[in-house]
Structure 1
Amino acid sequence: MNTLYRFVLMLLMTLMLISCGKDDDEDDSSGFGVTFGSGKSDTTSAGNGQDTYSNPAADADGGGGPFGGKDGGAQDTKNLDMTVNDISVPLADTEDTDPIEPQDSGGAPIDVPFEDPDTGCTPNCEERVCGPDGCGSICGYCQYGTACNDVGACIPVCDPVTPCQGKKCGPDNCGGTCGTCDPSFACGDDGLCYESACEPQCEGKQCGPDGCGGVCGTCKGTKLCDIDIGECVSNPCGSVGFKGACLDKHSVIQCVSGQLETTNCTTISNSHGCVWNAFFGKYECGKPPACLPDCIEAGKQCGDGGCNYSCGDCFKGWSCINFKCQPEAGGACGTIPTIGICVDNKNYFCANAIINVEDCNAVGKTCKYDPVKKQNMCK
């Protein structure tokens, strides 16, 4: 009986010990708040109330450690008994940190006006109607019967067929004369006779005759002068007017219905070249004289043109230098307008029916056009 009692007592104590050991395994108090294991009770005990864990070196794959190793090829399921609240991550000190500014998109676009590239050259055609513009081009062309002088004006040259067409006095530009005026009249630059005490009438006029044998101004480029209103108007045919022009000795260019038409005179029967038709007042194909002077093609304004012809006489008081007519102070105005022309930094202008010269070099100024006074002057 005693033996049976002792057996039962020992069995109960054994069961109690087993039960207490299980509680100790589940309530490990290592002081870290961390439970290492696979979620199952370890089969070994260190005898100090702490579970043991496998050495990383003893893992089947030879590495990984207690938090990521593999035992026997199976994934390790050791858990960390901790929550997000147990993790304290220090925040960065933002007191001295500048706030992040939104990226500047550039703001409103800058309005930069487009400018043509500066070629470094300004055409000098303010008071020139022909000849070079100083930038590799030209200001305009002169019609047949006239040639461009050094100041950019078209000067009459010899017309051997009808040298006095529309003239009553003055030189015929071929070495002769077209007549003389009565004593109380003076010959104007246009070859007509005017009263000696003539006052130019140029009020409100841009171009055309001034009523005293001179002109109120000349038109620039390809514009033509409408003498009825004294204004420069556009010409659809450029510098070729109703009279037409000779391109060379054998070709005629004419303005027909606003279009330029060129005719080769050698293709027309009984025609050999470009001639002036005095009856119709225009150039056409016909039979020129046996000898033609080289005034037009050589650009001569005065002097010998060959064929016993003179290329023309300059206006009274002008000089013929190298076949070009040069204006001189005190000479007849000719094609020099009242608003003046700047040549070699000198202002040549017409006043009291004669040429006046203002030397801008002598006063240390520059000859230029004044848009307010509407004339050239030393500034």
Structure 2
Amino acid sequence: MRKLALLFALALAVTGCSGGGNKVVPKTDLGDAGEVTDGAGDIEAPDARGPDGKGPDASDGTVGPDGQVEETGPDWTVGPDGETPPEELPCQPDCTGRDCGDDGCGGSCGSCIGPDVCGANGLCVPPPCQSSKDCPGDLVCNQAAGYCVECLGNEDCGDDAICGPDSKCVPVHKCASDKDCKEWDMVCDKALAYCVECLAHADCPETAFCKDSFCLPDVCEGGVQGCDGNVIGICLPEGSGWQTVQACGAIQYCEAGVCHDQVCPPGQAYCDGELAMQCDAIGKESAQIKDCEAAELHCVGGECLDLVCAPDAMFCSDSMTPALCGSDGMVFQPQAPCANGTYCFGGACVPWKCKPAAPVCNGNIVTLCNEVGSGPQPGGTDCTPAGQCCYSGECKPPAEEICDGVDNDCDAKVDEGCDADGDGWCASVKQVVGKPPVCPNGGGDCDDKVKETHPGQPDAPGDQVDNNCNGAVDEGLTCAGTCTGHTLDAYLCALELCYQAAPVTAAFSSPTGDNIETAWEAVAHFGNPANSLAPKAGASYGLLATGPATGTAHSTDLPGGTSIGDPYAKDGYQTFDNVEFKIVMKAPPGALGFSVDFIFMSVEYEEYIGTSFNDKFYIFLTGPTTTGGQKVVINSAACSNPNAYYDFIEPGTGEKRCYIAINTAFSEPCSNPTTNIGGTGFECGPPDSQHGSSTGWLTTKWPVAAGEQFELVFHIHDASDGIFDSEVILDRFQWLYGPFSAGTFPWAP
């Protein structure tokens, strides 16, 4: 009887399924089930008793009106076709691109090490912060970035480490020679007396450059033309960044070092007839969003709307006709059709980007210009498989690279080797077609390794260089009178200022009222003839000192005068023996800035480093355009020991900086001076009170506006007393006509 009853129940269940719903089959213990044979096979029927053996078991469902248990759990069902669906696949964990967090199945992709936390993207990131109080342990808050770091400056690392570019403390290894640093694959910064990763780019791997004594990964491939955003640039030779060549136009995009016309409005939805389109971020290509016509709608502003056009807006009713939409968006007024050579784009007539049906290049693919003239047609012939490149609408074999804005040699680079120094002039040995983006000034650069040498550059005096590439060296350089002695004309000549745009005014003065007749002089050479103080240009240079400028005794208080404060010093000490050379001049047309060479020497070395006896040399610039009429110190440098002494903190970077004095990182320690200043009285030697050292030769470069009249002041003073003098040699003032980096740097030819 039990088998027949169960068979009847199963028959009812199957019959119920045929009515359009899924009847849940009871799930009970099959241990003592009977068997029913129906000719198709054996079915094991579940026991209909409850746990107590007296009735139906509702533990896995509910008891229906017919006394049968109806399954309510999700275990399995019989579908309309009488089949049971396959079992659900087990969860597959996925940690692709994740270091931490949920794997999608309730498990973990890993844990972060140390103080790092798991970010929303599944990557380990530093703890977020708004204040250093938010940071765990010894970490501090980089408020600009919004996360905790190990250090922001050397002061966060203690005495035996410095703060690296990745905001992590790097151990310091003391040194006196490069030999002391080889164990760590480093070099010795003798001024700081510890090992560093680099002092020059040559100390770094080929794929890195040197910045602030650390090797950083190249930003780009040196000398290669590419794109920096929407600007064509030449990567600097060391790979540290881009030298701007040309900004692409407002309706262009930059790709592979070439400006291309946009084919659609970047990042916007727009209409191509009744097709709603979405343009990519740079305006290179677009994708269809929706066919509005198929939906019996109209495309307006990239959307399918029940309107003809955007109310009161100009649009293109077709590829040749601008139109003004009515205020209700249902009617429009066609305007005059576009003239030959133009097409309608964005509601206005714009010039063809190519001639309709003419062969054109779409990257390295030969195709035809579309019928409107707005750009290349899709498809075409790819020149790449044949080892050729597309040029003027044809696949052509690789040829010698010339300077024409085209990849002639099929190496995916454009105009490489045309302008190695990045001054905007192509090398004279290269063929130049027109004025391509790499050299908008044209060709004719006779020394493409030096930015200051190119056509139109003023000839520098006495440097034996054809600066303007006209085939003549130092032509026509004459100066009224001699370039040595104690006259204003001689001093201007010594700085090469007589060869430049003539200064409007020039004068010596003392803000402290001292008698400065002995404090300046134009000389052919200072010190021993064999030392490192030969003029950098011309046959002489200018001396400016806080005591007698010539001779070898340098501990003299200039006659007369008083003391005044220094508004640029944070220590509050008084200054003495202030001496200034002030010139007012006008930048010539085309000038981008100027440079001046100098070397600072002082008897304050080395016993007074980090003290109030910190004589300083300032270069002040005041210009209505360049400085907004403010008096600005333009020569400063990194400090030799910023934890012990610094003059100011650079806004934006937080770097501790020093003005040119004995505390700069350029200062040469007497343990290993690299610049021979013998015979000046400032050279190293015992006793310290009668000798000193120098910064070595430096160059300050600074921008000014072409045609701007500005004031330039060379200022030197004693600090806290009028003895233990300091002196500066000034030489080679010159205008800069090509791109340059502003600041103060070790002298280079």
- Tell me which interval the TM-score lies in, with the shorter structure as reference length: under 0.3
Rg comparison, structure with higher value? 1
The structure in which a higher percent of residues are helix is 1
Q: Which has the higher contact order (CA 8 A, sep 6+)?
A: 1
TM-score between both structures, scaled by the size of structure 1: 0.21
TM-score between both structures, scaled by the size of structure 2: 0.12
The structure in which a higher percent of residues are strand is 2
